[in-house]
């Protein structure tokens, strides 16, 4: 375990040296946050309730999205795809390290930085726009939310690993990543709008995919819009998806490693 | 004592996708892909004793690096057996990985944005090296490679030679029993090459670790290795003492003379194959058996200032071996 902690620390150090790219990434997140915020500010200037969401609930949702983007979406695990293609993986394979754990350590370092900044940004924006946040009434809800966060974090991590592992077989990995990592992730996860404002049929289809478990369901739990039975069910389904993708990642790794060309050098 | 490395009938084939040139070829490959099998390593067997320093030589694409990658567990062999220190490298067991190291001249493990010392400390944790042992090994390596002053400088600001030295330190901190060096001197200037060679030699002598070295530079191999393995087009074509190569493949020797007076080049043809002649220097390639006769002939009938009989330089022998002369 200690070696991965050292990797975590050295990754933090490394990310600090790429200050500009980090700042730009934060600006990008901030812009998408603000766009969403302005959109809903416009909507709620006409009405106090929309599709079953009170104003404070919707703004909590939007702020929650910004937070989860930093915690869940922001991932460095896609570097695996380029490691596979250019042989960078060799450096890890040759040493007593687990590739997944290395990626996880680096990811955690990245998340720590991102979440730190996200919280600061949210605080500032909530002050500037004078937004009131919806806080859960029971402590249990907060615990469920935290469990959910951990699951969603791993779910996104393993989805991203599975996508990256396709680099063992295909050169144009970016197409796969664009479909899953951009379209599905943005639209189907609830990162742009709460999924339940969609028509019933489409909504039900989306609930069969893993994506709503990354953003939409955790926030529903936080907003107190899920009862106990529902919370148990979504946590179990999310856990099942996470285990499925973990299993898939391991399978693909074992298969892909045999195909690995160890190019370069 | 069992050998450190045993390779039997190792094969590694790659499927390579062939594309016709240009945009039209790219479009065509969207619909129909043709694959070709390249035999990067084709049925190679050898074994290496503990403590040996063996050179792998062969032209680009001969299969040297692929073999090293199979030995270090990066590549899954298409068929055949590989055993390094009694393990199958492909299993990637921690106890195995802690005993080997691979240095690639064109790939670095050092963290680019951070000083080299950070990578060393990280490796201490990764290989679970006890603090006191780490200190001792680090000091020893730093002294041998003379890198004390550059440990705290960002890696990307180091020169290639300095970086390679630091790469070596990083690769040797855990005292590997088996060390794979893939082109460790590539791109280095002559002075740095020499230093690198001296270090490898010294390290092998002191630590008795088993080392396999690949290189394009014959100087590396000549200075470091007694035993060489020559690979070409995926096949092993020679495995033995460096000195045997010349005896086996060079059926002639080189006689070089300095004439004291101009001679008729045509007449020289009678002595043997004239490799070059520009007054006053001439060189001949003469069959081994005929060398003394040719030398006597020259000395008796020509105005000779100086005469030397030499073996064909090892570089030339190997070049001939590679450029098609059927040696099997």
pLDDT digits (tens, 9 = 90+) for A57-91: 888 899 999 899 888 887 888 889 989 988 889 99
Q: Closest approach of chain B CAs to the CA of A156, in angstroms?
A: 27
Residue from B102, B84, B96 nearest B171 by CA: B102
**Span B216-240, pLDDT tens digits:** 778 888 889 989 999 888 999 889 9
Q: Which of A96, A106, A254, A257 to mutate to test the interface with B (most CBs of B within 10 A)?
A: A96
- Max Cα distance, chain A (Å): 63
A216-229 residue pLDDT tens: 999 999 988 888 89
- A62 in Cβ contact with A54 (< 8 Å): no
Interface membership of A232 toward B (CB under 8 Å): no
In this model, does residue B277 exceed pLDDT 60?
yes
Q: Single out the residue of A238, A263, A231, A252 nearest to residue A142, CA to CA.
A: A231
Rounded Cα distance between A72 and B11, Å, is 44
pLDDT at A236 over 80: yes
- Measured between CB atoms, which of A14, A96, A265 is closest to B182? A265
Which residue in A5, A260, A264 is closest to B75 by CB distance?
A260
pLDDT of residue B168: 92
Is residue B324 scored above 70 in pLDDT? Answer: no
- State phi, psi for B88 to the nearest 5 degrees: -85, 115
pLDDT at position B328: 38
pLDDT at B326 over 70: no
Put simply, the chain A residues between 82 and 141 with a CB less than 8 A from any chain B CB are 87-88, 90-91, 93-97
Helices (H), B5-108: 22-31, 64-71, 94-97
Q: Is the model more confident about A161 or about B310?
A: A161
pLDDT of residue A14: 87
Q: Of residues A263 and B278, which shows the higher confidence score? A: B278
pLDDT-based confidence at B1, cuts 50/70/90? Answer: low
Q: Is A13 on the interface with B (CB under 8 A)?
A: yes
CB contact under 8 A, A6 and B122: yes
pLDDT digits (tens, 9 = 90+) for B51-62: 999 999 888 888
**Which helix (H) or strand (E) covers residue B195, if one does?**
helix B190-207
Residue A264 confidence (pLDDT): 56
> What predicted TM-score, i.e. pTM, was given to this entire model?
0.85
Say whether pLDDT at B40 is over 70.
yes
A contacts of B127 (beta carbons < 8 Å): 95-96
Residue of B nearest to A171 (CA): B17
* CA B251 to chain CA centroid, nearest Å: 24
Q: Do A95 and B97 touch (CB under 8 A)?
A: yes
Cβ-based contacts of A95 with chain B (< 8 Å): 97, 109, 123, 126-127
The answer, yes or no, to whether residue B18 has pLDDT greater than 90, is no
Q: What is the pLDDT of residues A7-47, one digit of tens each?
A: 999 999 888 888 888 888 888 888 888 898 899 889 888 88
Contact yes or no for B100 and A94 at CB 8 A: yes
| Mean residue pLDDT across chain A | 88
By C-alpha distance, the chain A residue nearest B72 is A94
Predicted pLDDT at A265: 42
Q: Does the distance separating the beta carbons of B75 and A6 come in below 8 Å?
A: no
Q: Which residues of A205-235 are buried (b: 16+ CB within 10 A; e: fewer)?
A: ebbeebbbbbbbbbbbbbbebbeeeebeebb
Given the cut 0.95, state whether the ipTM is greater than it.
no
Minimal CA separation from A3 to chain B, in Å:
5
Closest CA to A133 of A149, A145, A118, A122: A122
Specify the pLDDT at position B62.
84
Identify the residue with better confidence: A88 or B83. Answer: B83
């Amino acid at each position: 375990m200690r070696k991965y902690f050292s990797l975590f620390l050295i990754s933090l150090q490394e990310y600090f040296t790429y200050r500009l790219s980090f700042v730009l990434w934060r600006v990008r997140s901030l812009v998408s946050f603000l766009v969403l915020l302005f959109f809903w500010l416009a909507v709620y200037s006409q009405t106090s309730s929309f599709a079953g969401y009170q104003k404070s609930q919707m703004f909590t949702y939007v702020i929650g999205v910004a937070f989860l983007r930093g915690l869940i979406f922001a991932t460095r695990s896609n570097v695996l795809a380029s490691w596979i293609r250019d042989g960078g993986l060799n450096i890890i394979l040759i040493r007593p390290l687990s590739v997944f754990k290395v990626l996880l350590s680096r990811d955690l370092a990245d998340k720590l930085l991102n979440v730190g900044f996200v919280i600061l940004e949210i605080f500032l924006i909530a002050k500037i726009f004078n937004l009131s946040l919806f806080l859960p009434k029971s402590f249990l809800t907060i615990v469920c939310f935290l469990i959910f966060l951990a699951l969603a974090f791993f779910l996104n991590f393993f989805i991203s690993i599975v996508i990256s592992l396709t680099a063992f077989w295909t050169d144009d990995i970016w197409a796969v990543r664009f479909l899953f990592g951009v379209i599905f992730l943005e639209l189907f996860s609830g990162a742009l709008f709460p999924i339940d404002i969609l028509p019933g049929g489409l909504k039900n289809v989306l609930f069969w995919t893993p994506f709503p478990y990354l953003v939409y369901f955790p926030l529903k739990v936080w907003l107190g819009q899920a009862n106990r039975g529902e919370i148990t069910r979504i946590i179990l389904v999310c856990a099942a998806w996470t285990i499925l993708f973990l299993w898939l990642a391991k399978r693909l790794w074992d298969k892909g490693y045999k195909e690995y060309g160890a190019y370069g050098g | 004592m069992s050998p450190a490395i045993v390779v039997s009938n190792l094969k590694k084939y790659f499927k390579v996708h062939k594309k016709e040139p240009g945009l039209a070829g790219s479009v065509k490959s969207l619909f129909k892909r043709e694959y070709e099998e390249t035999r990067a390593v084709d049925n190679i067997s050898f074994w290496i004793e503990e403590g040996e320093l063996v050179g792998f030589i062969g032209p680009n694409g001969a299969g040297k690096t692929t073999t090293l990658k199979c030995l270090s567990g990066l590549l899954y062999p298409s068929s055949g057996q590989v055993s390094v220190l009694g393990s199958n490298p492909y299993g990637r067991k921690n106890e195995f990985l802690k005993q080997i190291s691979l240095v690639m001249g064109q790939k670095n493990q050092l963290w680019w944005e951070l000083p080299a010392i950070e990578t060393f400390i990280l490796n201490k944790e990764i290989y679970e090296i006890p603090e006191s042992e780490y200190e001792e090994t680090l000091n020893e390596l730093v002294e041998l490679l003379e890198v004390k002053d550059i440990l705290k400088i960002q890696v990307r600001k180091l020169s290639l030679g300095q970086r390679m030295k630091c790469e070596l330190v990083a690769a040797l901190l855990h005292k590997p029993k088996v060390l794979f060096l893939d082109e460790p001197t590539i791109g280095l200037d002559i002075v740095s090459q020499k230093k690198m060679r001296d270090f490898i030699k010294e390290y092998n002598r002191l630590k008795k670790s088993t080392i396999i070295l690949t290189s394009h530079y014959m100087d590396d191999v000549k200075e470091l290795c007694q035993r060489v393995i020559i690979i070409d087009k995926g096949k092993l074509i020679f495995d033995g003492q460096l000195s045997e190569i010349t005896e086996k493949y060079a059926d002639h020797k080189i006689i070089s003379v300095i004439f004291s007076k101009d001679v008729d080049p045509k007449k020289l043809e009678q002595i043997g194959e004239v490799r070059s002649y520009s007054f006053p220097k001439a060189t001949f390639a003469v069959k081994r058996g005929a060398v003394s006769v040719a030398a006597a002939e020259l000395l008796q009938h020509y105005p000779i200032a100086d005469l030397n009989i030499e073996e064909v330089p090892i570089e030339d022998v190997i070049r001939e071996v590679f450029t098609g002369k059927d040696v099997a």
